[in-house]
Amino acid sequence: MSLAIFDLDNTLLSTDSDHAWGEFLLEQGAVDPVAYREANDRFLADYEAGTLDIQAFLAVALRPLAEHSPEQLAAWHQQFMASKIEPHILHKGEELVARHRARGDTLLIVTATNRFITGPIAERLGIDELIAVEPEVVDGRYTGRPTGIPSYREGKVKRLEAWLADRDLTLDGSWFYSDSHNDLALLERVDHPVAVDPDSSLRAEAEKRGWKIISLRD
């Protein structure tokens, strides 16, 4: 049995769930239509360029969670799953997850997107273990602040190391599937790094290092 680790956005999904949630909030009229859209698009571009200020991003991305009730957020998330996520779940990605499950591997998603967004997506994919950005909750409501180390770039490695230590597990025989050059630090740590529909920077790095490159797109 080995550990099979999956990035989520643009790996098992053909979309970025964080950006899609922002678009969904704009459609609901839940955020400022000009300032939020500009920030949502700018942060996505920064992420793709590898220049994202994760704390500045989270200050904006988590604020709507604090501005609406848990009941409203839950209702919105159901709509979001149906309209923005379900059409982007990659069939080949589900088959890949199923192959690792059939082998008896431990399945884990590690994502820089927050748990409010990704928890239900991981559940839909049948993956019980999730490392994500953790939004702070006080008295049953989100505060709009993150807690702990954000699972972004090197933060993914630190969060994974803590997760492994808590479970007395190792990375022996481990796999990691990702599309993004932002995940190089974690790809370097596993025994089987796999670039999935990679961005140009990751593709060049994977080709240089002889890493496997696959596509989960139709």
Residues marked as catalytic: 7, 9
DSSP state of 82: I
Dihedral angle computed from the Cα positions of residues 70, 75, 78 and 83, in that order, rounded to the nearest 10 degrees = -120
Pair type for strands 129-138 and 106-114: parallel
Q: What is the DSSP string of 146-176?
A: EES---STHHHHHHHHHHHHHHT---TT-EE
Separation CA 110–CA 136 (nearest Å)? 18
Return the half-sphere exposure (C-beta side, CA atoms, 13 A cut-off) of residue 123: 8
| In contact, 202 and 193? CB cutoff 8 Å | no
3-class DSSP state of 31 = coil
Alpha helices in 29-90 (DSSP H): 35-49, 54-61, 63-67, 70-80
